[in-house]
Copies of this chain bind each other. A is one copy, B any other.
């Protein structure tokens, strides 16, 4: 190895440490099952192990590397553990990790086509592949007036969708003059009271405001009631307000409920205004790689924008949200700002896409690489295999809950998500959750549904198999029995 005369790590050192990190990662997936899923540290524990001041001179990488196990790992909650059943999964896979490694190594920034044509074109292409893989309508393909782009998250996607809607309904006047939500003529957005917090957050960000977002009530299955949506829209119209945005959720955060998309689309169409219909399928969208779950997509041919997260249930590292629009000009019209220093001949001729106009940031990572690796490694067959297996495991778990006299299903299972509680009420349900999580042997999270404290069991880990779901159920029932007998 050459002397570190310029402070850089040499290529030879990188080969050595890179191998060590690769082995460390491989080892991690071999032992993570046996570790505590939920980190057991207290606030401040990790910082207490770190020096107050930054290093004045460089340190050996061996020392940095060894601090991972000493300082970082105690503070890790293991999302990749097969015993992680909390929130929604953020599963990954070795091909995806290799894609991230390569993207980091290349270090390109694809803000415009010219700054790495492959980053733009592979993204366009892989998003077309994904649309075909999920059976999405042709209007989302790049060969149509629409197309897809990778965003970091569904949160950013809904901001972009709402901006495109805001500009379309105001003919660009909001960008020009600012938003005007004074008494009459206010823009109004609609989503169910089960939708993700990001929809409300987006309404705040883009200047619509809480008062102008209607959280529509839901039916017994926690799906949006179309009749209530219709009434709300009609009331706003009668009051002179302007309904401009509806977000339907295919797979709500609490219970993976599916809004009635066909009816919502028909309603928006029949009302004849200029309502942008966005679909947030962040979690459930991945399931449509399986033909048998394609009903989730029914109604998408009337939708203005759609997104789902391969970084949840499709073995692709966070972050990776696939966001599609039916009319890309509505998006770029809302988000495009030209500057001399970004002008390129390829863009101005219309021959190339500059994705910077499709998103909030200017810069872009080469995220399509990992997605390309995942789609090619697994193929449609491999991805569908795992989605099916997870759904089957959740079905099994649902059956156990249903058969057990101490537990109630809050709502029938949706795909891989089972919502349940103890029949004796919130207090014991919450105590069961806290108790099982504190063992470190599994991790589930909670929500409230129909005003009941609810445990959510979501099966979506890369390596989650029957035995992990069995262990989880066994731990839950044993814990409940101990509490019953207290």
Contact B7–A18 (Cβ < 8 Å): no
Please judge, given known A-B contacts A117-B39, A182-B180, whether A339 and B197 are in contact too, CB under 8 Å.
yes
Proximity string of chain A (83-95) to chain B, C-beta cutoff 8 Å, 1 when within and 0 when not = 0001100111111
Q: Which residue of B lies closest to A124 (CB)?
A: B47
Contacts of A360 in B (CB 8 A): 155-156, 159, 201, 205, 360
- Whether A125 is near chain B, meaning CB under 8 Å from some CB there, is yes
Q: Enumerate A35-49 residues with CB–CB distance to B below 8 Å.
A: 38-39, 41-47
Contacts of A373 in B (CB 8 A): 64
How many protomers of this protein does the assembly include? 2
**Considering the chains assembled together, what is the distance between the CA atoms of A8 and B389 in angstroms?**
13
- Whether A335 is near chain B, meaning CB under 8 Å from some CB there, is yes
Contacts of A234 in B (CB 8 A): none
Contact B43–A346 (Cβ < 8 Å): yes
**Considering the chains assembled together, what is the distance between the CA atoms of A105 and B94 in angstroms?**
8
Q: Enumerate A180-212 residues with CB–CB distance to B below 8 Å.
A: 180-182, 186-187, 196-198, 200-201, 204-212
Contact B174–A117 (Cβ < 8 Å): no
- Taking A19-B19, A175-B209 as known contacts, 6 extra A-B pairs with beta carbons closer than 8 A to each other, sorted by chain A number, are A7-B378, A15-B23, A22-B101, A24-B105, A72-B118, A180-B182
Contact B7–A106 (Cβ < 8 Å): no
Q: Name the one of B26, B64, B211 contacting A176, with C-beta atoms under 8 angstroms.
A: B211
How far apart are A63's CB and chain B's nearest CB, in angstroms? 8
Contact A340–B211 (Cβ < 8 Å): no
Contacts of A90 in B (CB 8 A): 107-109, 363
Contacts of A9 in B (CB 8 A): 93-95, 377
- Whether A3 is near chain B, meaning CB under 8 Å from some CB there, is no
- Whether A292 is near chain B, meaning CB under 8 Å from some CB there, is no
Contacts of A33 in B (CB 8 A): none
Please judge, given known A-B contacts A23-B15, A351-B43, whether A118 and B76 are in contact too, CB under 8 Å.
yes
- Whether A253 is near chain B, meaning CB under 8 Å from some CB there, is yes
Proximity string of chain A (132-170) to chain B, C-beta cutoff 8 Å, 1 when within and 0 when not = 110000000000000000001101100100010000000
Contact A117–B317 (Cβ < 8 Å): no
Contact B129–A107 (Cβ < 8 Å): no
Contact B44–A351 (Cβ < 8 Å): yes
- Whether A220 is near chain B, meaning CB under 8 Å from some CB there, is no
Could you say which of A54-62, A260-268, A323-331, A397-405 contacts chain B? A54-62
Contact A178–B197 (Cβ < 8 Å): no
Q: Which residue of B lies closest to A448 (CB)?
A: B340
Contact B100–A337 (Cβ < 8 Å): no
Contacts of A152 in B (CB 8 A): 152, 361, 363
Q: Enumerate A304-329 residues with CB–CB distance to B below 8 Å.
A: 311, 317-319
Contacts of A156 in B (CB 8 A): 360-361
Q: How large is the interface on A (under 10, 10 to 19, 20 to 34, 35 or more residues)?
A: 35 or more
- Whether A425 is near chain B, meaning CB under 8 Å from some CB there, is no
Contact B22–A15 (Cβ < 8 Å): yes
Contact A43–B113 (Cβ < 8 Å): yes
- Whether A225 is near chain B, meaning CB under 8 Å from some CB there, is no
Contact A212–B29 (Cβ < 8 Å): no
Contacts of A205 in B (CB 8 A): 159, 163, 205-206, 360
**Considering the chains assembled together, what is the distance between the CA atoms of A61 and B58 in angstroms?**
37
How far apart are A445's CB and chain B's nearest CB, in angstroms? 6
How far apart are A274's CB and chain B's nearest CB, in angstroms? 18
- Whether A214 is near chain B, meaning CB under 8 Å from some CB there, is no
**Considering the chains assembled together, what is the distance between the CA atoms of A426 and B456 in angstroms?**
64
Q: Name the one of B80, B369, B377 contacting A59, with C-beta atoms under 8 angstroms.
A: B377
How far apart are A357's CB and chain B's nearest CB, in angstroms? 10
Q: Which residue of B lies closest to A72 (CB)?
A: B118
Could you say which of A380-388, A407-415, A466-474 contacts chain B? A380-388
How far apart are A83's CB and chain B's nearest CB, in angstroms? 15
Contacts of A77 in B (CB 8 A): 108, 114-117
